[in-house]
Amino acid sequence: EFLISKPTHVLKAFQKLSLDDLQTIPDIGPKVAESIHNWFRESRNVKLLEKLDKVGVKIISHKSSVVSHKLRGKTFVLTGTLESMSRDEAKEKIRAFGGDISESVSKKTGYVVAGSEPGSKLEKARKLGVKVIDEKQFLEVLTK
């Protein structure tokens, strides 16, 4: 897992990534990771990046995101009010770790995060047998 902080020079960040790091990025498999890795190691491409940097061309990411696969394939539904963060912040954290967000509960939902005063989503999750976690458990999922 690696951090792309904000704002970041995206090309410089990619240049520093190992082959294993690249493969942790969602939707990048071994072949694409190898191609990216090799491109950033070819001398002509390194020279091109240096020239672009010299003349002031910067490709940056303004969104802070941690790229990790630890929640990949898991879908979260939020219900109720969270105490430690806004709903948007919770969604951003889930996405940053490779998870997906849904507005409705289904059998494919991995977790329903229930804050205070949860709505009908909690009841539906229980009916479907979907795992329901509270905010404390949600924070543990993010930090483990």
Taking only the tens place, the pLDDT of each residue in 121-141 is 999 999 999 999 999 999 999
The span from the CA of 8 to the CA of 10, in Å, is: 6
Are residues 60 and 104 both part of a single domain? no
Query: What residues make up the domain containing 33?
Result: 2-66
Q: Are 30 and 75 in the same domain?
A: no
Cα 27 to Cα 51, 80, 85: the distances in Å are 30, 31, 28
pLDDT digits (tens, 9 = 90+) for 43-72: 998 898 888 777 777 665 545 455 567 888
Asked which of 49, 66, 83 is the last residue of a domain, the reply is 66
The continuous run of DSSP H or E covering 61 comes out as strand 60-61
**Same domain as 109, residue 134:** yes
Q: Is the pLDDT of residue 8 over 50?
A: no
Residues 56 and 88 in one domain: no
Claim: this prediction has a pTM higher than 0.85: no
CATH number at residue 134: 3.40.50.10190
